[in-house]
Structure 1
Amino acid sequence: MSVVLNAPDDWQHEARAARITTAALLARLGLDAADFPAGVIADPAFPLMVPPHFLGLIRPGDPADPLLLQVLARGEEAWPQPERLTDPLSEADYRAAPGMLQKYRSRALLMASGSCAIHCRYCFRRHTDYGATMLTRARVAEALALIAADPAIDEVILSGGDPLSLPDARLAALVDAIAVIPHITTLRLHSRTLVAIPARVTAALLALLAGTRLRVVIVIHSNHAHELSAAGAAALARLRGAGVMLLNQSVLLARVNDTAETIAAHCRRLFACGVLPYYMHLTDPVAGAAHFDVNESDALRIEAQVRASLPGYLVPRFVREVPGEAAKTPLLAL
């Protein structure tokens, strides 16, 4: 039986509908500010974005729902948080050109978009000024010229924001321009959109990814098995059919996925969707997100339990990103 693809504008409609107020989100779920020990923030500076698909996966009436805790502006965000940063990974130090970061020798990262389908409250770029840092149309030529002049770079990473927030035509123009550079062999996209809005996998996107000469890797961002709906699994299957390698990165988050049982169930669900677990990040010290932190000793214990319960190929690498280091730092080395 053939799979019916979504109309090209379905995902854009969902993206436009993602903006929601705290009051409206709570009302939709039958909850009240008093259901949360520290209350909620009525009008946060980092606004709520929750697409209808993702909202439909949250359990109504449950203030502890792990998906809700990732997107609701809880009162803890406003608590004093000493030593928390607005640029926790010192990304300003790695800006090779407007819209381009180069932290590692063989890879270049392009901030392809300043938009995301969903606003995760722990996001390490929640304070980023995308107007100053994203890759605008006027900045593309300069960034690609730098990449073309450096044969040591063989992989281009599209990040943001979220590169899949770009319309198909604009994304295709960027991918085609990258593919012209002969020493680039791999295109990697980091995207939360595929979990938040599975309808983003359009026929045009599949044709683009299947048709490029580049090897395509998409690193999705999912933190909990409940995020991987049947619609999401079908979208991921279509991407695999287009020859895309699928990996997942998660963030270890207090009250969301901070047990070995939750992580193991998530890894098994990822594998059932054709996605291999890649990284489990410890939180970055971003201002406003300290309440998501899991301390390193607890993380080590959880990692050991996960290793004991899963085959090695399903165990994500527990890491922290340390500014200035040549690669992600394994938890055991911290």
Structure 2
Amino acid sequence: MPGISSHRIMSARTLRSAADLAHAGLLPADAMEAAARVGTRYSIAVTPAVAALIDRADPADPIARQYIPHPAELLTAPHEQEDPTADAPFTPVEGVVHRYPGRALLKPLLACPVYCRFCFRREAVGADGGVLGEPALEGALGWFQRTTTIREAILTGGDPLMLSPRRLGAILRRLEAMPHIELLRIHSRVPVAAPDLVTPALAGALGAVTKPLYLCVHANHAREFSSAAVEALGRLHRTGVVLLGQSVLLRGVNDSTEALEALFRAMLRARVKPYYLHQLDPAPGTARFAVPVEEGLALLRAVRGRVSGLAWPTYVQERPGGAGKVPLGPAYAGS
């Protein structure tokens, strides 16, 4: 697949099957058959950086819970949806999602360094997701060129930082050359899940952008901010990229006051401003991660007095049918 040469190099060391996970001590032998069944439907990938964070002695390890396949993933609850954010109805051309008047998503690839067990695009992303071919990419960029109401282009996927610096830089240059586009944004797991991919060449490609560029880093637990991740984020920060943090509220991962406080503090220490805390999207097989909104609101109320305002994200939930995100609060007495 063109443009993801660094992904090819990393794939030799990434755990991509139930057997790989068992061999690495991340999956009990008696769980391997069930995990393999999950892997036939949803991709598995655990990078060396993530594997190193997992406490193999803790059966409830919050890092492992995010990435190690579980048989419950094959059970779809009545409220769960294959496309919970309704990307498909808002796709004017391949690779583009246009839900809001002034901004749109560009999905240049559907591969990720790791595959989260709660991902809302889990039916679409995977190791064979690949990149947009040249005709499709040209079609997507042509749509951005023609659609002059767009002020913000958001690169997502898949994970855009999996692209080679050359290809990513070329896409960013095309977008920033469009006079009507004022802001560029990238959503990525790479800095925490595969910090070795944040090379000087990649940082240089981002640093060459002259228009405002925001990088939203997805992390859900404080331990994801390893020394290597902090170093990678520092490299990006020094280029002038603005770093924002987004997380999902997840049962067994960050559903406590202590865990959320530690996560937000870890973000700030890494120069990442907490931006969004997402209510879980109802993708198939993700019910074991669900935290009720009322509980989420109570957790945030408890955290509010313990952290700086700099650490405070907006708690949001996707509305059904692709209607977009709404802030959930919490509200306070007397407000």
- What is the match of residue 100 of structure 1? 96
**Any unmatched runs of 5+ in structure 2?**
none
AA matched with 2:293: E
Pick the aligned partner of 2:328 from 309, 326, 331: 331
Match of 2:58 in 1: 62
- The residue that corresponds to 2:21 in the other structure is 25
Deviating more after overlay: 10-19 vs 99-108:
10-19
Calculate the TM-score normalised by the size of structure 2: 0.90
The answer on 1:13 being equivalent to 2:9 is: yes
How far residue 133 of structure 1 moved from its aligned partner, in angstroms, is 11
2:196 aligned partner, one-letter code? A
1:273 aligns with 2:267: no
Matches within 5 A, 1:111-190: 111-128=107-124, 135-190=132-187
Matched, 1:41 2:35: yes
Secondary structure at the aligned position of 1:41 is classed as helix
Report the number of matched residues: 325
Contact 1:144 1:178 in 2 (8 A): yes
Q: Does 1:196 align with 2:190?
A: no
Matches within 5 A, 1:167-316: 167-316=164-313
Would you say the 8 A contact 2:110–2:129 is kept in 1? no
Report how far residue 325 of structure 1 moved.
6.5
CA contact (8 A) 2:18 2:27 kept: no
Cα drift, residue 27 of structure 1: 3.8
Structure 1 CA distance, aligned partners of 2:321 and 2:73? Answer: 27
User: TM-score w.r.t. structure 1 length?
Assistant: 0.90
4+ residue runs over 4 A deviation: 8-12, 33-36, 129-134, 324-327
Q: CA deviation at 1:196?
A: 0.7
Letter in 2 for 1:153: I
Could you tell me how far apart the structure 2 residues matched to 1:30 and 1:144 are?
41
Aligned partner letter, 1:210: G
1:89 aligns with 2:85: yes
2:297–2:330 contact (8 Å) kept in structure 1: no
The alpha-carbon distance between structure 1 residues 333 and 145, as it changes in their structure 2 partners (threshold 3 A), is farther
User: In the alignment, is the contact (CA less than 8 A) between 1:134 and 1:160 conserved in 2?
Assistant: no
C-alpha distance in 2, partners of 1:300/1:30?
33
CA distance in 2, matches of 1:34, 1:112: 38
51, 67, 70: which is aligned to 1:71?
Answer: 67
**Paired residues of 1:87 and 1:128 also in contact (CA < 8 A):** no
Name the residue aligned to 1:5. none
Structure 2 CA distance, aligned partners of 1:255 and 1:62? 12
Identity of aligned residues (%): 35
Residues 64/27 of structure 1: CA separation in 2 closer, same or farther (3 Å cut): farther
Distance 1:310 1:175, change over 3 A: same
| Change in CA separation of 1:92 and 1:99 when aligned onto 2, cut-off 3 Å | same
- CA pair 10-174 structure 1, distance change in 2 beyond 3 A: closer
Distance 2:238 2:218 in 1: 20
Evaluate the alpha carbon distance shift between residue 101 and residue 181 of structure 1 in structure 2; reply closer, same or farther with a 3 A threshold: same
Residue 125 of structure 1 deviates from its aligned partner by 0.4
Aligned partner of residue 97 in structure 1, secondary structure: coil
CA 31–211 in structure 1, closer or farther in 2 if over 3 Å, else same: closer
Pair 1:223–1:113, CA change in 2 (3 A): same
- Asked whether the 8 Å contact 1:101–1:109 carries over to 2, the reply is yes
Displacement of 1:78: 2.3
Letter in 2 for 1:125: R
CA drift of 1:331 comes to 1.9
